[in-house]
Amino acid sequence: MSNQISRSFQNIFLTFAAICSGVCLPALAFSQSNFGIEFKDKDKIVKILTLSDLATEVTAVSLKIFEIHEKKDQIYKAYPVRALFDKTFGKKWLKAEEIVFVSTDGYQASIPVTKFLSHDAYFAFAHDDDSPFTMTNILQNNEVVQLGPLYLIWDNMKSKALLKEGASDMPYQVKSIQLTTFATRFPNLSPPAKASAEVQRGFLYFRKYCMACHMINGEGGGKAPELNYPTSVVEYIKPEYLTRWIENPSSIRHNSLMPGLAQEIPDRTKITKEIIAYLKAMSTTKRSPKHQDMR
């Protein structure tokens, strides 16, 4: 019942966003210049900085990337992430395991610290030509999305591996950045201790491709429905349809806002199978959500 209410609320909101996107975005963009971005170590706030504060902390660059959400090159004004983290957190960010990026729309990307050490990430805060800081996301049914206050991008011109990953680990509307360990932040998401290797791999893929939007046992992103509690999707969606939800959502629901697992991902069929194995294991591991909303 409460899920139904939140879905109809979501629909009202989406309709509003659709009507609003042409007219209201410049106003939104304006209000965001004074928006405080939170930097947290576990649950403790270390700093709150506005976009103008950030400009005094690190030097901005112009960076050209292949914009996967639009399938074309794009140039952004951006701050190098490692330099910004050094300034805001000091060197202790290197000792964290995971960094969680929370967006204003409920998306929660959780990215291992190691990825920031092996690849160059940037926080984009404007288009290089100062056009409105929005994007038409072709991976999400051409939804027009606001990118500010911060949009996490990667220098994928230099790296084939990053290009192959598609749009994963690229949250926009980032308003909060939190150093943590996966186990402290998401204790309810992990599979049972004796889970098979297939389930464990499925868990890693779920973290990478699904949990930014979806919750399991109340943990993960708040942008899409909970998938496990109290009734798991494996209990009410037939297996062949579950595979289609993951690989080609718009073949199930017209106008679906869910991006399918990208075609380019090597071993896509195997990954889908392993994610479903993880979802099945979680259906026998229901843990009551303690905190529904972590935003």
Q: Residue 233 interacts with ligand HEC (CB under 6 A)?
A: yes
Choosing from 189, 258, 277, 281, the residue that interacts with ligand HEC (CB under 6 A) is: 258
Q: Does the CA dihedral 272-295-152-81 come out positive or negative? A: negative
Residue 60 found at the interface with ligand HEC (CB under 6 A): no
The site that binds ligand HEC (CB under 6 A) totals a number of residues, namely: 22
Shortest Cβ distance from residue 224 to ligand HEC (Å)?
A: 3
Coil, helix or strand at residue 16: helix
Q: Which amino acid is at 135?
A: M
Question: Of these, 76, 249, 282, 294, which contacts ligand HEC (CB under 6 A)?
Answer: 249
- Residue 199 in the binding site for ligand HEC (CB under 6 A): no
Pick from 145, 259, 277, 282 the residue near ligand HEC by CB under 6 A: 259
Does residue number 224 form part of the binding site for ligand HEC (CB under 6 A)? yes
Is residue 216 a contact residue for ligand HEC (CB under 6 A)?
Answer: no
Rounded distance, CA 165 to CA 68, Å?
A: 10
Q: Could you tell me the smallest distance in angstroms from the CB atom of residue 83 to ligand HEC?
A: 29
- Binding flag, residue 275, ligand HEC (CB under 6 A): yes
Radius of gyration (C-alpha) of the chain in whole angstroms: 19
Residue 228 CA to residue 216 CA, distance in Å, equals 5
**Cis bond before residue 171 (omega within 30° of 0):** no
Q: What is the smallest separation between the CB atom of 117 and ligand HEC, expressed in angstroms?
A: 24
SS3 76: strand
Cα separation, 21 vs 142, in Å, equals 12
